[in-house]
Chain A
Amino acid sequence: MSTIVPEPIGRQPWQVILPLLFLVLFGAAVLHSAAGGSMQPYAGSHLMRFAIFMVMAIFISLMPRTFIKLMAYPVYIVILLLLVMVEAIGAVGGGSQRWIDLGFIVLQPSEFMKPAIVLVLAKFYASLPIGMTNTWRALVPPGVLIGLPVSLVLLQPDLGTALAIAFGGMVVMFMAGLPLRWFVSAGLAGAVLAPIAFFTLLHDYQQRRVTTLFDPESDPLGAGYHITQSKIAIGSGGWFGKGFNQGTQSHLNYLPEPHTDFVFATMAEEWGFIGGLIVLLIFGLILRWGLSVASRAEDRFSRLLAAGMTATMFFYVAINLLMVMGMAPVVGIPLPFMSHGGSSMLTNMICLGMLLMVNRWNGSQPRGRSF
């Protein structure tokens, strides 16, 4: 390391923090434009939140491994109870509800469940005897651990979050080395069950979102409107975009949710294909770093934790971008670090904090020592 930079600072993974910082600033610029050329109300609070949550992420990164492992189950249980509470309050209050107002803060427990499921499964597999990896004991308890929160979240109903939780959990199971054929059979079963679930479990509006995906022009002013307008925004950007603050789709309100779910379309309209490639590249850098942290990790728990956190972030990015480009249904998943919104920022910064933590563990302990 350089002699000028102090060692604790030099040790930080700047190759990911700097691109992330750039992405957040870029996001703030887009939000500035989405607000009609003003820092208020989006860009300012976006930066403010990032600053606060960055401090939180650094704080998380300082946690010791034993503490995290100890806390895995209690945290999971507390969040699960909170989800039950949300349901209960919703049932009593008459109507669906996703959050708990604690007076000083509004909590959306389903958001916390995304990193928590990764944490609890990493802990589970880390403590599962290696010999049992191919037995039902490696499958059933995690299935319950995933199934409980997913069902509760589906009841809210919040399909996007439920999918994110399930995806995070599945990735941890996958990385834990469960037999491949289980996943293959699960995939086949899913292919059979998905159409049945589509017609029985999904709400009307959710079904419509899926059907319009395949033919958004069939209902250009109804459910297909979001997708159509988003594609127009991205497509009209061209190579270099219309220029900062020059987007018409967002400024004239044709683009729905230009500051949250469709922030990428807002960006692409003004910054074009080049802007889009830069965003993709930065996400690529962050995710690749996440996976490298995972593969460098020394023990099973850290490895699974890092891989799961990376997967959770990846899920956000992939679903959001597929959605705005018209290749996935509109499920209401924001784009990490760019969309305006506290809870997604919080979740992603928790994920990031965990990755930084694992990264720190990697660096602070001599290599080669495992399990």
Chain B
Amino acid sequence: MRWRRRSKELINAVTLKNRFDRRTVTLGALQGGIGVLLAARMGYLAIFENEKYEVEAESNRVNLSLIPPRRGWILDRNDAPLASNRADFRVDVIPERMADPQQTITLLGNILGMGTADRDDLTRRIDEARGFQAVEVGQGLTYDQFAAISVRLPEMPGVVPQRGFSRSYPTGPAVGHLLGYVGPASAEEYEKDNNPLLVTPGYKIGKDGLEKIYEQQLRGVPGARRVEVTASGKIVRDLSTREDVQGNPVKLTIDGPLQDYAARRLGLESGSVVVMDCRTGDLLCMASMPSFDPNSFSAGIGRVEYAMLSGNERVPLRNKVLKGLYPPGSTVKPMVSMAFLQQGLKPEQTVFCGGGLRVGNRVFRCWKRGGHGTVDMAAGIYQSCDVYFYHFAQAIGMNPISEMARRYGMGQEFPLPVNSQFYGTVPDPAWKLKKYDQPWQPFDTVNATIGQGYMLANPLQLAVMAARLATSEMVVPRLEYSSLVPKFNDMGVSAEHKNYIRKAMSDVVNGPGTAGRAKLPLDNILMAGKTGTAQVVGLNLSDGRSGPWKYRDHGLFIFYAPYDNPRYAGAVVIEHGGGSGSAYPIARDVMTYMFDPQKGMDALLPLEKEWGGTAQQRLSQNYRAYAAAAGESVAPLPAQTDDIFDKVEAETRLSAEAQLALGGRVVAPRGDDASNPSSEGVTTATPQSAPQPAAVAPALPTGQTSPVIGPGTQ
């Protein structure tokens, strides 16, 4: 009502002027009010929140980048680097900062000359990366490539070219399994160890082997660089730089040249060589071949490379020294003899070997069909007579033998800085009952005394067995270098027994034994050893020497030298080598190199010429050939590259399990001494020829390949 009256009220110039004045005041008040509001707001921003915004302005302006620390070196016992760092140019991308990943990949690919497979790998790694995780595009760039990327940075946000250091393994595949490799941290690893260093472009952590075990020690302290940057990321000036602190070195007991020599000497075979110092337990060599080149793994495992390595039946991704489990074959005989001696058996006691032994209603064959005649303990060892061991093992029983096997290192896990070791099995009646719910059978003892059946060991355990046989001390292997000489427990073996076994093992090589070809070509050093041949499948599938590679027998050899004053001990295991003849020439050459490097190299070089280069050269040739053949059609990687070695380990476990499952049948031993002139009178196999089963097979006497009578057939 009031409004209505107002509108009808007479309006004149005075009321309008009054209204104008009132409203001018209103307008002025509005302006003043907004002015006060603005002043208050500004005071709030600039005074009360000043600290917050100052920090934000600083964090805008100052870009703090971590300088990845140089990784500590891994040194061999003589301070030569097994793993070092090489200065190079590298380029990474930070996926979260990339504007157009596909275009950036194309551009980088063109500059770096990447192939389609490499580009796909890079795309996949970028897709998988989480958060501010950096993805490596390439390292070891030439200066021109580095410069080309640097000038085009404005087109490619998120690309980080820098000078840095990359891990370098001078002997490549020879140390692949031992040292492992380094790579960018995965998202899971970053979640676990929430250290910003892990996502710093160019920083790598140990992914396997010793690189992983000693990660914290090798890591070092990152440096930092503070730079002033514009909004577009252009660096205006350096504010301050703190140098990185290199990680601590790790010194190993490994003898670098020996490790390399052994790896190369393994040649085309799939196998491992372990050499240790009997007096200190120092592991001088832990070679496992074929291997991978850790240098090429540092950006992550490529698709083609993974397909090549994982598809290879010789499992290059498996560290056979620690994770290869093999029936030890006749290499256990000296140890079993020690058990006999301990049980009071006189070494002079003999058995007549007529080619087999009847136990119950079965006949167990000796590897030598014709029989060895009258055999005492020494002959049982150096002739590797199975009947001798069958006979006395029946008399003594399994338990003393398995107990002795454990004392000599079988079934044992050693205190070593490794990710995992498979320690195999030493069977006894209690074990069998528990595992298979079956009673121990006489043929189980027969199998075990010749290192077959359920018995499984890794090459490191065999080397330790050799060292303990040589010294009669509880030698414990070690990998971390120390100048202290450890004092090992005495095993309580009499000097008489020790010397007896030493002599018998020397005769294997230097006397009328099964490995005459293993004699060192050195005047005053005699090597002692024991051969072994381990069957992997039943005779119905293969004669062990020819046919499919997977069915051939493993070749084993344990050794120490000099035999009368043992200094070095070791083991060589050749997977599917067709018999011990594939193993002991390698042991011979490795020990020759140990005492006389020149002579060792003279033996190796002609062989390498035959094989087509060193292990590293062959690996890269294979890679090129494989990549050319497979082209771009290789299978994709497992989703998580870090799972690769878990997968390898799982497969290894499975194959060991499969080997164990074969243990329940009777094994008819085969000669591990086919080329021994004194026992066979056959000299056709030339000592220096490559230990290829095909070359050895024709030299076999026909009797050895005839089918063996299985359990229950006789």
A residues near B (Cβ < 8 Å) are 130-131, 133-134, 171, 174-177, 179, 181, 229, 231-239, 248-249, 252-254, 268-269, 272-273, 276-277, 280, 283-284, 287-288, 291, 294-295, 300, 303, 307, 310-311, 314, 318, 321-322, 325, 327, 370-371
Contact = CB atoms under 8 A, between A and B. Distances in A.
Interface in B31-61: 31-32, 34-35, 37-39, 41-43, 45-47, 49-50, 52-54, 56-57, 60-61
B152 interface: no
B236 interface: yes
B46 A273 contact: yes
Contacts of A273: 42-43, 46-47
Given A175-B23, A291-B28, A307-B24, A235 B52 contact: yes
Nearest to B9: A134
B143 interface: no
A233 B46 CA distance: 9
Interface in B1-26: 3, 6-7, 10-13, 15-17, 19-21, 23-24
B171 to A, nearest CB: 48
Interface string B355-399: 000000000000000000000000000000000000000000000
A238 B46 contact: yes
A174 B50 contact: no
15 contacts: A133-B11, A175-B24, A177-B23, A234-B42, A235-B53, A235-B57, A248-B228, A253-B230, A254-B231, A269-B57, A276-B42, A283-B35, A284-B32, A325-B45, A370-B13
> For the side of the interface on B, what is the size category?
35 or more
A176 B15 CA distance: 11
Contact of A303 (B12, B20, B57, B231): B20
A177 B16 contact: yes
B53 A232 contact: yes
B221 interface: no
Nearest to B60: A254
B35 A253 contact: no
B512 to A, nearest CB: 84
Contacts of A370: 13, 17
A236 B27 contact: no
B11 A130 contact: yes
Nearest to A284: B35
Given A131-B10, A276-B39, A300-B16, 8 more contacts: A179-B6, A232-B57, A236-B56, A238-B46, A295-B24, A314-B31, A325-B45, A371-B13
Contact of A234 (B15, B24, B53): B53
Contacts of A231: 45, 53
Main secondary structure of the interface of A (DSSP, over half): helix
A239 B57 CA distance: 16
Given A235-B54, A236-B50, A179 B13 contact: no
Contacts of B27: 171, 174-175, 291, 307, 310-311
B232 interface: yes
Contacts of B32: 284
B49 A321 contact: no
Contact of B7 (A175, A179, A236, A322): A179
Given A130-B11, A177-B19, A232 B35 contact: no
Contact of A131 (B11, B20, B42): B11
B229 interface: yes
Contacts of B46: 234-235, 237-239, 268, 272-273, 276
Contacts of A238: 46-47, 50, 54
Contacts of A176: 16, 20
B230 A252 contact: yes
A312 B219 CA distance: 66
A133 B19 CA distance: 12
Contacts of B16: 130, 133, 176-177, 300
Contact of B39 (A280, A307, A327): A280
Contact of A130 (B3, B13, B230): B13
Nearest to A269: B57
Residue among B15, B31, B42 with the most chain A CB within 10 A?
B42
B31 A174 contact: no
Q: 3 shortest A-B CB distances, which residue pairs?
A: A235-B53, A236-B57, A177-B19
Interface string B648-674: 000000000000000000000000000
A327 B41 contact: yes
B42 A252 contact: no
B31 A287 contact: yes
A256 to B, nearest CB: 9
B13 A175 contact: no
A252 B231 contact: yes
A131 B7 CA distance: 10
Nearest to A321: B38
A338 to B, nearest CB: 14
A235 B45 contact: yes
Contact of A252 (B13, B43, B45, B61): B61
A276 B47 CA distance: 12
Interface in B456-501: none
Contacts of A327: 37, 41
B52 to A, nearest CB: 7
A252 B236 contact: yes
A317 to B, nearest CB: 9
Contacts of B10: 131
Given A252-B236, A254-B231, A288 B28 contact: yes
Given A134-B7, A134-B11, A295-B21, A235 B38 contact: no
B45 A234 contact: yes
B55 to A, nearest CB: 8
Nearest to B6: A179
A114 B619 CA distance: 80
A121 to B, nearest CB: 14
